[in-house]
């Protein structure tokens, strides 16, 4: 374990670090390596480990942890990672690497507002996706999750459906009350 004071210096340098540098992986690292790096880093710098080290160190550890989560959330998703890599290439030579807020990403698809039904390719997948769209419109996230699982099982190679399912799982984790 690194000394707690290490987080003070690390937190100060975060603004100059890319997501790859934060997770300590190469820019061509496979997803499994990114996941492993995030897991190790989160165990090492979780803010709860530093509550007895004073507020300054706990705050620094929290800053490092939050940026690690931010980095992981972008690098684990192929579409976001590609956009981030493109922005990094455009920004070469500038002092602070680009930060990427996936919630604020503007894409052509957002303007189009593709429904799950539009994303699905097979007849059975479209049936499940249509039900998921209907349940989402009613605010029934857990019901939509079940239907979207059915769609992805019928279309195991549909990366966009899987990405939407991941987003739905994240939304459910943020929902008040437990569905587990």
Residue 96 confidence class, pLDDT cut points 50, 70, 90: low
- Of the chain, the percentage scoring pLDDT greater than 70 comes to 79
* DSSP character at residue 8: H
The encoded tokens of residue 173 equal 């984790």
**pLDDT > 60? residue 90:** yes
Structure tokens that stand for 70 in this block:
């931010």
Lowest mean pLDDT among 42-51, 69-78, 119-128: 42-51
Q: Which domains does the chain have, with CATH numbers?
A: 6-104 (1.10.287.110), 108-174 (no CATH)
Angle, CA 104 vertex, CA 100 and CA 107 arms, to 5°: 95
The pLDDT of residue 3 is: 61
Instruction: Say if pTM beats, i.e. exceeds, 0.75.
Output: no
The tally of CA atoms less than 13 A away on the side-chain side of residue 29 is: 21
Are 74 and 86 within 8 A, CB to CB? no
Dihedral sign of CA atoms 36, 37, 40, 42 in order:
negative
23-32, 70-79, 117-126: least confidently modelled range: 70-79
pLDDT range class, residue 7, cuts 50, 70, 90: low
Distance CA 17, CA 56 (A): 21
Least confident of 15-19, 131-135, 168-172: 168-172
Residue range 109-144, pLDDT digits in tens: 443 467 889 899 999 999 999 999 898 888 888 899
């Amino acid at each position: 374990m690194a000394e707690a004071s290490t987080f003070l210096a690390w937190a100060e340098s975060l603004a100059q670090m890319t997501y790859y540098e934060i997770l300590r992986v190469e820019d061509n690292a496979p997803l499994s390596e990114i996941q492993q790096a995030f897991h190790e880093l989160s165990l090492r710098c979780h803010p709860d480990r530093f509550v007895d080290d004073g507020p300054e160190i706990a705050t620094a550890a929290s800053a490092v942890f939050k940026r690690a989560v931010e980095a992981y959330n972008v690098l684990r998703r192929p579409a976001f990672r590609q956009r981030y890599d493109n922005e990094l290439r455009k920004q070469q030579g500038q002092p602070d690497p680009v930060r990427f807020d996936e919630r604020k990403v503007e894409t052509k698809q957002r303007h189009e507002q593709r429904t799950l039904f539009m994303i699905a390719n097979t007849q059975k997948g479209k049936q499940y996706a249509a039900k998921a769209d209907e349940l989402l419109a009613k605010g029934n996230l857990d019901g939509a999750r079940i239907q979207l699982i059915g769609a992805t099982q019928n279309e195991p190679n549909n990366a966009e459906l899987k990405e939407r399912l991941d987003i739905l799982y994240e939304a459910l984790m943020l929902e008040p009350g437990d569905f587990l």
